[in-house]
Amino acid sequence: MITHLSGKLIEKNPTYVVVECGGVGYFLNISLHTFSKVGDDENIRLFTHLQVKEDSHTLFGFVEKTEREIFRLLLSVSGIGASTARTMLSSLNPDQVKNAIASGDVATIQGIKGIGAKTAQRVILDLKDKILKVYDMGEVSLQSNNTTKEEALSALEVLGFARRQSEKIVDRVLSQDTSMSVEALIKQALKNL
């Protein structure tokens, strides 16, 4: 098993890098998180995961060991392949994935392209205990602004607005001020709907 590669960065793209080690160029698939962390330095070190299938050997590269560990945990879930796990780590950083799973935040995981409600629930069901144990986390509750967010979304739904549209607006408002009361959040959202 190849655990890491240290070498010269030959090529860098949002989905892959090419690293030359000892005269051999290695093609490593990466997430957007790793892409953002990899500088343009000539020398690079990436932690790797080698996926062996009947028809291919595919290398994945990660700047941090934590990202690789989460990638491997995601692969252990039925229905999650390497491309879906990489998409998850491209949409959210490793800490966001870890916290979403630990807190049972189905909405965050379902918000990732290609993941439906059942898959999101399966990810949480299969990995929550492992995440809490591996990262020595206590039971994590959803952030307080999520209860505020849920109350505001419920109120907007009662007022006749579509949940999906309302959620985008509420998220935008919360990104500017996370300490808003439910009433203030609803008022701001109504101005933008």
pLDDT of residue 146: 65
| Burial group, residue 177, by CB count within 10 angstroms (0-12, 13-18, 19+) | exposed
Q: Which residues of 160-176 are buried (b: 16+ CB within 10 A; e: fewer)?
A: ebeeeebbebbeebbee
Q: Which pLDDT tens digit goes with each residue over 143-174?
A: 445 677 888 888 888 788 887 888 888 888 88
pTM: 0.68
pLDDT at 62 over 80: yes
- Domains, the chain, ordered by start: 4-62 (2.40.50.140), 65-134 (1.10.150.20), 144-192 (1.10.8.10)
pLDDT of residue 189: 83
Overall average pLDDT of the 88-102 stretch = 90
First to last CA, the chain: 53
Q: Which pLDDT tens digit goes with each residue over 122-151?
A: 999 999 888 887 766 555 444 445 677 888
**How far apart (Å, rounded) are the C-alpha atoms in residues 167 and 46?**
37
